[in-house]
Structure 1
Amino acid sequence: MSLSLRRALTYSLNRNPSPSLNARRTLHSSRAMAEVKKTTPKMRQRDIVSSFLCAPPVEEGGQHRGKWAVCSGTIEATDASPLAAAYREIAEETQLTPPSISLLRRGRPFTLRDETISTDWTIHPFAFLLASPDTPITIDFEHTEYTFVTPSQLSEYDTVPALADTTLRVLPGAEVEDALRTLRSDHTSGATALATLALLTLRRALLPPLSTAPTTAVQWRATRLLAWTLAKSARPAMAPAIEASVFGALERISFSIGGVGKNYDLKVAMEALSIEGFREVATKAIEDVMEAREEAVLKLASNFTACVQHSAGYQAAFTEQRPVTLVILSASASVAACVADLARAAAATKMGVRVLVLESRPGFEGVEIARAVLDLVGSDAEVEMQILTDAGVGWAVGEADFVVLGADRVTGEGDVSNKTGSLAAAGLAPTVGNGCKVVVVCCEEKIMGDDGGGAGLAEAEADGGEENEASEVTAAWPARAKEVGELEGVKVRNPYFEWVPSRFVDVYVTEAGEVGVEGLKKVARERRELEERLFDGL
């Protein structure tokens, strides 16, 4: 059953999910919108958010099993972003706020023209997850009633326009939902590894039995929608790498088929290409992107080694005939590759490398990166590896020449989102470090696309960041400590990521070399422009 809500001014309705998204509840409403801007002398432009509220699965037979809903409302000038507007509208119309709800998915915005009122509606779809299937919904004065309906009853209702299209943009098929669930639940892999999984998902979806598209045009649209879903919804805290990878694949596909990739040229080329031909070209493009990403990591590692070897800290260690000391944390394929490359290069000049690894609770990813570095180095060099508690970060930074951080997200302004613990390590460097420098290493795919107005970080932080189960923290506690965590009034927190302000970063290194903030801004701008080209009209 699905939940339908009726109000005095407009109709409302909701939609059931795909089989893999059963046991969900939804609520939809729409409201009168204030004019935001004019796009032409005749057509007004109004921007709204449309948000599905979804409950997690419940036991067989629950009254909320298989339910969906949406809240809609205008994006006000005071809203920091469409996502912020969605949270505000939900709170106003249902009294639901975090942590009762959390962002699950964002769909590709689209425009709906209403000639009867000379208005273009730009709809920003979102899906939110209810913390519990029993989370109470308190509708406000704008609504008169709500009821539950089955998907088969959808056509019996007088719905708001484009509800079906809106639904498809946030509720993908079962296979896609399974892939998204895998990406969301992976709490050990870094952003680079998750981006690879996203590319593999995109490739699988091109081929039968997952693909049933009858024409190339239909397949191209489905591929773009899937790429958008993977980029924006798989793992928001690690979105840039996933986004850059799948969008890069789309760019290669469009270039391979339509040459310069202009909309008109691409449309003509698509019409002349068989569905089998499209799948072959698209598969090859995705594989090319995967190969290019591997090459980018190798270039990044080489550039990091050059950066360190030309630094004052490295020269001081060489002069003092002591190992160069690095502090690292969490699981990052990029950091592991960089440290291993430095170790091999240092060995050629009889230099030692000492690596102080913070264990990175609660998943102890630091232990995993220690193993990864040693495996990459092999017998080519000697690495003095020391693993210590996160609480020892002050001592570690005091011993270090460099704090080396990976990045899950980097804004055009140079702020870096990485595993919790990064801020302490970076912030301590100028305080307790003896000339210790903070180096951020990442491929350009980690740089967030801007929105043309500088709201990238506001959008990134609008959902409050990613926080996971308290049980991950308490699992390592002794029995007596676990009892404390269960006491009334005690809440165990498990934030996974945090932002390191640019003022704490000394150097950014990518596959292009050392870059400054202007270089980051350039990449961020290019990301936005690519997104606009790829999804224009979708």
Structure 2
Amino acid sequence: MYALSCSKLPGALPLYPSAAVTRHPTSSLLRPRRCQVRAASSTTKQQLERRAVVSSFLYKFTQENGQKKAKVALFKRSTQVRTYRQRWAVISGSIEPDDPSPLAAAWREICEETTLTPSSLELLRQGKSYSLPDESIGREWIITPFAFRLKDVSEGGKGEAGIILDHEHETWAWYDPMDIEDSESFGAVPRLAESLRRVWFEKDLGLAAGAVLTEGLNKLKHDHESTAHQSSVFSLRILRNIMLELDAQQPVDEWWTKVKFAAWHIWKNGKETLCVPILYALLAVLKSMEERLQETKKDAADNSANASRNVLVRELDDHIASAGQDAACSRVGSALVSFLRIHFAAQEGSGQPLKVLTVSNNAMLTNALRHIVSDTEFLLDLRVPEQCSSFEGMSLAESLLQQLDPSQAISKSDAKEHEHLDRGAVFKLNMTTYTDASLAAASEGVDVILLGADALIESGAVHHKTEAIPAILRARHASRKAKTVVLGEIAKVAHSKVVGVCITRDGDPADLTSTWQAGSAGLDRSVAGTVAYSRGGINATIRHPKHGRTTGLVDVRNALMEWIPSDLVDIYVLENGILTVEDIRDLAEAFAQEEERLFRHI
């Protein structure tokens, strides 16, 4: 460990007791005015070094008087550090070049300063990054705050006993997050409350609206069944309920900023794997409501949000009522059929099957397959690897059969009543499921690897489940003619600087560890007591079978999602036709500009 420098603090600015302050335009928080370096006769602009840091707030929840109460841990800096001695702070530090993401940096800093690992903490929320310039030291801090929940011993965590401080802090204590403020009398490091409000949105939204947002985020996080479209509509309903709970007596501009603030959290802290379509839906409705807001402000009798709120809620209701995915799905299916008829024309109606491998299972892909069977003369040889945990093959077969008319299940040249079919009949759809370990057999001789994208970014990279890359590589090795076709929609195109390139979804490590036999190969599945930093999963210790001492560590990770690079993709099919990487980039950049404009000042 090392002494904490300025780069280790969340928004670490020196305290200036005499500095003037200006009021934040959307809250009662106070911000220090930027200090100016003055020459004898003129003011010079200093070039600031940018430094990215993370600030992590650790929370616990208790029952007080029958109500759930939040407490946040603050850590008092010791006399051994160089800056802000005896000041209250949180766990903070620089994002290092080898940190894959700000979240990874936050986990690393927490372990270094408290010894806590993911087995004892749960990520609650991420706050919007913000900039704090400090011209006195030539730095501009880019701060990304996080909130974590401390797990109780009953949940497999270590609880408060797991917090072991290093030399940077001398003690710690629980505080009510609503009591934390940026003031000299509170005795905290600078801008602590500003970082906190970005993860503890109750401070800005109020308890009622904050409770609605918290409940909505929990439902989004734990919903593993809803489609992208369903989750997007649900996200709009969360926003609607928040708008009704926000204080409408406040100035309309402050009220509108809080609406956008809530929308940002719905996107960022809801359903990570569907963050792109959710954000797309939120941006579309915010833009529409923004236009209506400008109209209502002209005719408003006063400056409160009263006059505008009901109008904007009705505008949001119209968006929810008109939200539909059928049109986009149908256009994607038609575009796919056009592509197949151009590139595989010789196989249509020839009796030679079109061999398609897919490791996806979503509404867009199911609808596209239905178009192939219903609208063409292709004989579809569909191959689907089966995962024991999610049963994609069985689910896809069930979805297709529910949508297809029985007469469409055989070739039109050999149409018969379903009950009269014999085993020699020629079916338009022949589907085979394979074990997920037998991709080589499933990929043999395929014409098309068909994938449904969860997200697309400006480079053309595709967010998808982890089986896709092995399937593509194996199919291309077996057949040079195999084409990788990605199905998507405009609502799933985003820029990496908005959504990040590290959005992943890990499955429960217990899916793997549950198959282990206790004590097998000297493996003890209990959480290690002296474990180094872990990026996630379950920590297990390896104990020597004879003397019982720990000889190593096992970190179990059940990764489910990955990014497929664009050089493994041949064709992108969206509702507006066949797109190139350049087309994807244009859509992503427009998306990023709108996100920046709407969320710039929250």
Distance (Å, rounded) in 2 between the aligned partners of 1:9 and 1:398: 58
**Which runs of structure 2 are paired with 1:521-532 in the superposition (5 Å)?**
521-532=585-596
Identify which of 127, 143, 147 aligns with 1:123. 143
Describe the superposition over 1:77-126 as per-residue Cα deviations: whole angstroms up to 9, x where unpaired: 77666445544544553455666656542212344577998987553222
- 1:224: Cα distance to partner? 0.7
Give secondary structure in 2 for the equivalent of 1:427.
helix
User: Do residues 201 (structure 1) and 227 (structure 2) align?
Assistant: no
Distance (Å, rounded) in 2 between the aligned partners of 1:404 and 1:485: 41
Q: Aligned letter for 2:578? A: E
User: Do residues 68 (structure 1) and 72 (structure 2) align?
Assistant: yes
Give secondary structure in 2 for the equivalent of 1:537.
coil
More off after superposition, 273-282 vs 231-240: 273-282
Q: Tell me which residue corresponds to 1:510.
A: 574
Q: RMSD of aligned C-alpha atoms?
A: 4.2
Q: Tell me which residue corresponds to 2:257.
A: 221
Q: Tell me which residue corresponds to 1:251.
A: 287
Distance (Å, rounded) in 2 between the aligned partners of 1:133 and 1:247: 41
User: Do residues 363 (structure 1) and 372 (structure 2) align?
Assistant: no
Q: Tell me which residue corresponds to 1:288.
A: 319
User: Do residues 179 (structure 1) and 216 (structure 2) align?
Assistant: yes
Q: Note closer, same or farther for the CA distance 1:117–1:491 as it changes in structure 2 (3 Å cut).
A: closer
TM-score w.r.t. length of structure 1: 0.76
- 1:199: Cα distance to partner? 2.4
Which is higher, the Rg of structure 1 or of structure 2? 2
Distance (Å, rounded) in 2 between the aligned partners of 1:405 and 1:534: 32
Identify which of 381, 399, 402 aligns with 1:375. 402
Q: Note closer, same or farther for the CA distance 1:196–1:296 as it changes in structure 2 (3 Å cut).
A: same
**Which runs of structure 2 are paired with 1:384-533 in the superposition (5 Å)?**
384-433=430-479, 435-451=481-497, 459-461=500-502, 465-472=504-511, 487-488=523-524, 489=542, 493-533=557-597
Identify which of 179, 196, 199 aligns with 1:170. 199
Q: Aligned letter for 1:280? A: V
Give secondary structure in 2 for the equivalent of 1:68.
strand
Q: Tell me which residue corresponds to 2:207.
A: none
Describe the superposition over 1:123-170 as per-residue Cα deviations: whole angstroms up to 9, x where unpaired: 322224556352733433332221233457646732344434432322
Distance (Å, rounded) in 1 between the aligned partners of 2:54 and 2:46: 25
Q: Aligned letter for 1:358? A: P
Distance (Å, rounded) in 2 between the aligned partners of 1:392 and 1:287: 48
Q: Tell me which residue corresponds to 2:167.
A: 141
Equivalent pair of 2:220/2:231 in contact (CA under 8 Å): yes
Distance (Å, rounded) in 2 between the aligned partners of 1:211 and 1:486: 57
**Which runs of structure 2 are paired with 1:263-412 in the superposition (5 Å)?**
275=306, 277-285=308-316, 287-288=318-319, 291=323, 293-312=325-344, 315-318=345-348, 320-346=350-376, 349=377, 351-379=378-406, 381-382=408-409, 383-412=429-458
- 1:418: Cα distance to partner? 0.9
Distance (Å, rounded) in 1 between the aligned partners of 2:159 and 2:265: 27
Give secondary structure in 1 for the equivalent of 2:558.
coil
Distance (Å, rounded) in 2 between the aligned partners of 1:530 and 1:449: 11
Distance (Å, rounded) in 1 between the aligned partners of 2:594 and 2:559: 32
Q: Note closer, same or farther for the CA distance 1:58–1:501 as it changes in structure 2 (3 Å cut).
A: farther
Distance (Å, rounded) in 2 between the aligned partners of 1:166 and 1:322: 62
- 1:229: Cα distance to partner? 0.9
Structure number with higher helix proportion:
1
Give secondary structure in 2 for the equivalent of 1:460.
coil
Q: Note closer, same or farther for the CA distance 1:324–1:450 as it changes in structure 2 (3 Å cut).
A: same
- 1:285: Cα distance to partner? 4.2
- 1:303: Cα distance to partner? 1.6
Equivalent pair of 2:12/2:189 in contact (CA under 8 Å): no
Percent identity, aligned pairs only?
Answer: 27
Equivalent pair of 1:356/1:386 in contact (CA under 8 Å): yes
Give secondary structure in 2 for the equivalent of 1:381.
helix
Q: Note closer, same or farther for the CA distance 1:386–1:211 as it changes in structure 2 (3 Å cut).
A: farther
- 1:258: Cα distance to partner? 3.4
Give secondary structure in 1 for the equivalent of 2:171.
strand
Q: Aligned letter for 2:236? A: L
Equivalent pair of 1:406/1:440 in contact (CA under 8 Å): yes
Distance (Å, rounded) in 1 between the aligned partners of 2:379 and 2:367: 17
Q: Note closer, same or farther for the CA distance 1:107–1:150 as it changes in structure 2 (3 Å cut).
A: closer
Q: Tell me which residue corresponds to 1:159.
A: 188
Distance (Å, rounded) in 1 between the aligned partners of 2:452 and 2:361: 9
Equivalent pair of 2:443/2:478 in contact (CA under 8 Å): yes
TM-score w.r.t. length of structure 2: 0.69
- 1:378: Cα distance to partner? 4.0
Q: Note closer, same or farther for the CA distance 1:130–1:337 as it changes in structure 2 (3 Å cut).
A: farther
Describe the superposition over 1:23-71 as per-residue Cα deviations: whole angstroms up to 9, x where unpaired: xxxxx977569x9xx9x8269576554433446879999xxx9443432
- 1:288: Cα distance to partner? 3.0
Q: Aligned letter for 1:508? A: Y
Describe the superposition over 1:218-273 as per-residue Cα deviations: whole angstroms up to 9, x where unpaired: 432222112111212213333222222212221222234338xxxxxx98788778
Give secondary structure in 2 for the equivalent of 1:146.
strand
User: Do residues 537 (structure 1) and 601 (structure 2) align?
Assistant: yes
For this pair of structures, how many residues does the alignment match? 487
Q: Note closer, same or farther for the CA distance 1:54–1:308 as it changes in structure 2 (3 Å cut).
A: farther
Equivalent pair of 2:385/2:436 in contact (CA under 8 Å): yes
Distance (Å, rounded) in 2 between the aligned partners of 1:195 and 1:379: 33
Q: Tell me which residue corresponds to 1:21.
A: none
More off after superposition, 87-96 vs 244-253: 87-96
